[in-house]
Structure 1
Amino acid sequence: MVVSIHQPSYFPWMGFLSKIFRSERYILMDDVQLADRAFQHRNLFLEQTGISKYLTIPFNRKGYRNKNIKDLTIHDCDWQRTHKKFIQFNYKKSHFFDEIFYFLDIFFSKKYVFLIDALIESMKLSMKLFDISTEMILQSSLVYRKDSRKSDLILELVKAVGGNIYLSGVGAIEYLIIDEFDREDIVVNFYTYEHLSYPQIHANEFVPGLSCIDVLFNIGIDSSKRLLRGVA
């Protein structure tokens, strides 16, 4: 059983989706604190000028350092209209605008109180459009040692879902204690995503690392699925 673990992301980039696609179970870490300057509640989209811009879901910041992601509430009730207008304005000339915006319109029409609900909905929609059938499991639903941290926490979560292969990002090399995984007969594989380029309507040169929504608007659902799988 191949397991990957990651905090949520707002309409994640292709590297994130690629790791989920290559897993049988993905554990969404909702019972940890929000990391500053991370991509959990924001992501990059492309303006008509060819410059990338963050779209961010605002959350109530009072005491947020003492709360876990699942407990954070959304601050600005108008963020959906703002994001929707930005996407309409900047992607309306893309070849597959109508095909993709239909789904986004539904996403933005829903009411979200907690940040985690909007993030999970954006991830589920992304997985649906890219035809990713990986099982998503919330960290908060699992039974494990709650005092675990860093490498021990990852090991506990993999064990909690019956995993024997952990698919990790290369950034975890610095803190994962591989010997402890070996003792539990769990193999750790480090995954590096090779970012394949695709035509972008507003970019003279390819801009990597954007939200998967940029891919969908530019090349459509079918070609996006093939790109994720590395198929020409």
Structure 2
Amino acid sequence: MQRTNLSFAPASPAASSPREQSAPGGLCAIHQPNLFPRLTTLAKLFAADYWIVLDDVQFSRRDYQHRARLAAIGAPGRQQWLSVPTHLPSGRPTLIRDALVDNAELARRRTAGMLRQNFGASPHWPSLVQALDPVLDTFATGRTAAIAETSTRVLLGLLGWRGQILSSSLLSARPGRSLRPADLAAATGARAYLCGTGGMTYLDPVPFAARNIAVASFRPPTTGIWSTARRLSALWALASLGPDTLASRLRAVADGHAALRAAAPELRSSATSV
């Protein structure tokens, strides 16, 4: 599965590398910034060539934008929430990118303590803790979205993902539940839009077909480490297996979806007939 170099949106507080423009084609995923995302979410992004960070939609306290479900090594049933306390300056209409951390220094210390408490016993902890430093540093921005996005960037980097990251707030797109993601995907030049099973229930494929983009469902495995993948942060699998082994598992899933590139014309044809 050919990938482009990992690149960073200009507004990101994370450390950046020189941008390389991806060649047209490939798979695009659109997802809100999640704090240490679940394994299913991370796997979907890993399978894509582009991740568009959906940072200009309404913040939701019931979602994963400021929280992650952790579990101790060897005990996935012992779970607890890690939450970044968040203030919404404009109340419920506050956009994700505008959400602010309450008492950033205290939140940073609590996050560091919970990560060590749950994963410090892992043989992979020495390398993990060093890689997680940029996430803790991002608390200084005071912005919840920056912390969540950086946490995902760090995990993707540990696993060797070399796709391109863009921000929805920096791209032009028309409003609409299906029109907007179609326009955003088109901005990358992708041939296919990789959609979670939830999105497949309401997404209209016609705007995508009009842009010559296939809509494909992302379906990860459900056994082994994947049995908790829809609930637990990917940190649990990473600390349990280590970056190399987990990367191998994710590559296997990604390779299965890579065939969508070749099948994109047939998928588009099917979408047009819906």
Alignment TM class, shorter chain as reference: 0.7 to 0.9
Q: Does 1:28 align with 2:59?
A: no
- In structure 1, the partner of 2:160 is 131
- In structure 1, the partner of 2:39 is 14
With over 3 angstroms needed to count, the CA separation of the structure-2 counterparts of 1:143 and 1:224, relative to structure 1, is: same
- In structure 2, the partner of 1:58 is 85
The 1-side partners of 2:150 and 2:126 are apart by 20
Q: CA deviation at 1:36?
A: 3.7
- In structure 2, the partner of 1:157 is 184
Q: Secondary structure at the match of 1:64?
A: coil
The one-letter code of the counterpart of 1:178 is P
Q: Secondary structure at the match of 1:143?
A: coil
The answer on whether the counterparts of 1:196 and 1:227 sit within 8 Å (CA) in structure 2 is no
Q: CA deviation at 1:113?
A: 1.4
Which of these residues, 128, 141, 145, is aligned with residue 100 of structure 1?
128
Report % sequence identity: 25
Paired residue total: 223
- In structure 2, the partner of 1:140 is 169
Which of these residues, 108, 118, 121, is aligned with residue 150 of structure 2?
121
Deviations 1:126-171 (A, max 9, x none): 11111111101000111222xx121111112112222231111111
- In structure 2, the partner of 1:194 is 221
The 2-side partners of 1:25 and 1:84 are apart by 29
The 1-side partners of 2:89 and 2:210 are apart by 42
The 2-side partners of 1:23 and 1:119 are apart by 19
Q: CA deviation at 1:106?
A: 4.5
What is the RMSD computed on CA atoms of the aligned residues? 2.1
Q: Does 1:168 align with 2:192?
A: no
Which of these residues, 102, 114, 118, is aligned with residue 75 of structure 1?
102
The 1-side partners of 2:89 and 2:206 are apart by 40
Q: CA deviation at 1:187?
A: 0.9
Q: CA deviation at 1:5?
A: 0.6
The 2-side partners of 1:13 and 1:99 are apart by 20
Q: Secondary structure at the match of 2:100?
A: coil
With over 3 angstroms needed to count, the CA separation of the structure-2 counterparts of 1:187 and 1:105, relative to structure 1, is: closer
The one-letter code of the counterpart of 2:189 is G
The 2-side partners of 1:192 and 1:144 are apart by 27
Q: CA deviation at 1:197?
A: 2.4
Q: CA deviation at 1:112?
A: 2.5
Q: Does 1:42 align with 2:67?
A: yes
Q: TM-score, normalised by structure 2?
A: 0.75
Structure 1, unaligned runs of 5 or more: 199-205
Q: Secondary structure at the match of 2:29?
A: strand
